[in-house]
């Protein structure tokens, strides 16, 4: 309850805080007027009480004009002691609070000038009152204590503001990082869905186009073509369900496994063979296990490259090679599609429509995947002018060597 009340007071409007403080000081200075005075002293009158109240009222504006309020409080206090014989106060409450406010809000030059003015006022007040060293030292001590508390409050406020600014900066940084992570995840999902759908639809279209002629000429081949369409569709649906699980899961991270890897390449190549292409596959070098993310990238790169061959190259054969280096893995996909001499763009239609040198989501996705693993991707016509080449080099960790 106390903590809640203190928090409410601290968060209240500053004008309300100053008004409440003024009323509290007014209550304190009213006590000597309520307590009966000694018989040899004149009774307290309303004029003295009114002058005392007048010396408290400026505290309402202490934050807006701290120096003016202090001067007004000291002047009214001096007039009170000189002209009236009213009850004194145990402490100059209004003066101490005004001096404290100057210490909190004013610059060093203003504080120095106000400190000298206050010291002079204290000396004159003590000399007019008792003139004793005891009263002088006590008044100077409580004034110095008020100043010290003001400077401590200033330091505390500055520290609090710095902490709040730092917290706000961290919150902004975390929000930006979360937005960037979401953008990366959306890009990853977009690449995955593009690869899945593009490959599956391309294979299914090729098989479907080959189906009617096969029905008339070789029914057994038609049956195989339709089975290949069904198998490709089932595989695509399974992978899409996995991707949709990533989008739908909210309470816990969606499972990304099993991701396609290098072990899944033979099945991928077999589906492509079903479209009529001759496909060769070879692995050279120190063949070893790689991280799941890297293997998934290899699979998707080969899948996208083969999709482009099926859709655009007009090729009869394609070769896939994986070359394991000490700290790298080179993935090369070559086709024998028609070159520029066939009337298409260099490397066949694949080079332009699939995003060779000029763009396209497929080969852009390949470059993005390669860059994510510190590698490079070069896509373009082969050096001999026959067909198109996708050459990707991925960086593997030195810790994986020798597995």
Cross-strand bridge partners of residue 138: none
Task: With residue 21 as reference, give the H or E element that holds it.
Answer: helix 14-34
By the 8 A CB rule, do 58 and 52 touch? no
pLDDT one-digit tens code per residue, 329-387: 999 999 988 743 333 333 333 433 333 333 456 777 788 888 888 889 998 888 887 88
The residues, ordered by sequence, that sit 6+ positions from 124 with a Cβ below 8 Å of its Cβ are 78
User: CA 379 to CA 369: how far, in whole Å?
Assistant: 14
* Overall average pLDDT of the 110-116 stretch: 90
Highest mean pLDDT, choosing among 83-87, 114-118, 220-224 = 114-118
Query: Which residues, in sequence order, are bridge partners of residue 332?
Result: 321, 391
- Domains, the chain, in order of start with CATH, read 2-131 (no CATH), 275-403 (3.30.565.10)
Q: What is the DSSP code (8-state) at residue 289?
A: -
What region, left, alpha or beta, does residue 365 occupy, with left being phi > 0 and alpha being psi -120 to 50 degrees? alpha
Q: State the DSSP string of 225-262.
A: HHHHHHHHHHHHHHHHHHHHHHHH--SSPPP-PSPP-G
**Omega of the bond prior to 264 within 30 degrees of 0, cis?**
no
What is the DSSP track for 74-137?
HHHHHHHHHH------SS-HHHHHHHHHHHHHS-HHHHHHHHHHHHHHHHHHHHHHT--HHHHH
pLDDT band at 9 (very low <50, low <70, confident <90, very high): low
> How many alpha carbons lie under 13 Å from residue 9 in its C-beta half-sphere?
11
For the beta carbon of residue 315, count every other beta carbon within 10 angstroms: 21
CA 379 remoteness from chain centre: 36
**pLDDT, tens only, 185-241:** 777 777 777 767 776 777 777 667 666 665 666 666 566 666 667 777 777 777 677
């Amino acid at each position: 309850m106390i903590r809640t009340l203190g928090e409410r007071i601290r968060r209240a409007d500053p004008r309300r805080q100053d008004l409440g403080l003024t009323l509290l000081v007014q209550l304190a200075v009213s006590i000597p007027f309520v307590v009966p005075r000694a018989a040899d002293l004149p009774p307290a009158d309303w004029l003295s009480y009114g002058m005392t109240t007048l010396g408290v009222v400026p505290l309402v504006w202490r934050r807006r004009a701290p120096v003016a309020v202090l001067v007004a409080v000291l002047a009214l206090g001096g007039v009170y002691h000189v002209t009236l014989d009213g009850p004194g106060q145990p402490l100059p409450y209004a003066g101490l609070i005004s001096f404290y406010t100057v210490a909190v809000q004013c610059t060093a030059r203003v504080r120095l000038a106000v400190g000298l003015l206050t010291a002079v006022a204290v000396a004159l007040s003590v000399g007019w009152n008792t003139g004793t060293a005891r009263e002088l030292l006590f008044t100077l001590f409580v004034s110095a204590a008020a100043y010290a508390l003001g400077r401590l409050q200033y330091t505390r406020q500055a520290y609090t503001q710095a902490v709040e600014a730092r917290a706000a900066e961290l919150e902004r940084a975390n929000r930006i990082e979360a937005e960037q992570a979401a953008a990366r995840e959306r890009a990853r999902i977009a690449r995955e869905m593009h690869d899945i759908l593009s490959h599956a639809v391309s294979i299914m279209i090729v098989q479907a186009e080959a189906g009617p002629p096969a029905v008339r000429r070789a029914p057994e081949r038609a049956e195989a073509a339709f089975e290949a369409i069904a198998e490709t569709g089932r595989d695509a649906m399974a992978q899409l369900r996995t991707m949709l699980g990533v989008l739908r899961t909210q309470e816990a991270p969606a499972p990304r496994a099993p991701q396609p890897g290098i072990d899944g390449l033979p099945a991928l190549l077999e589906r492509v063979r079903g479209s009529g292409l001759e496909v060769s596959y070879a692995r050279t070098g120190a063949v070893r296990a790689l991280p799941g993310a890297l293997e998934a990238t290899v699979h998707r790169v080969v899948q996208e490259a083969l999709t482009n061959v099926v859709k655009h190259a007009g090729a009869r054969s394609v070769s896939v090679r994986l070359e394991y280096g000490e700290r790298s893995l080179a993935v090369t996909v070559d086709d024998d599609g028609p070159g520029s001499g066939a009337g298409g763009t260099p490397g066949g239609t694949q080079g332009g429509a699939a995003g060779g040198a000029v763009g396209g989501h497929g080969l852009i996705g390949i470059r993005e995947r390669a860059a994510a693993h510190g590698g490079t991707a070069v896509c373009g016509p082969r050096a001999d002018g026959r067909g198109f080449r996708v050459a990707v080099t991925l960086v593997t960790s030195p810790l994986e060597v020798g597995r």
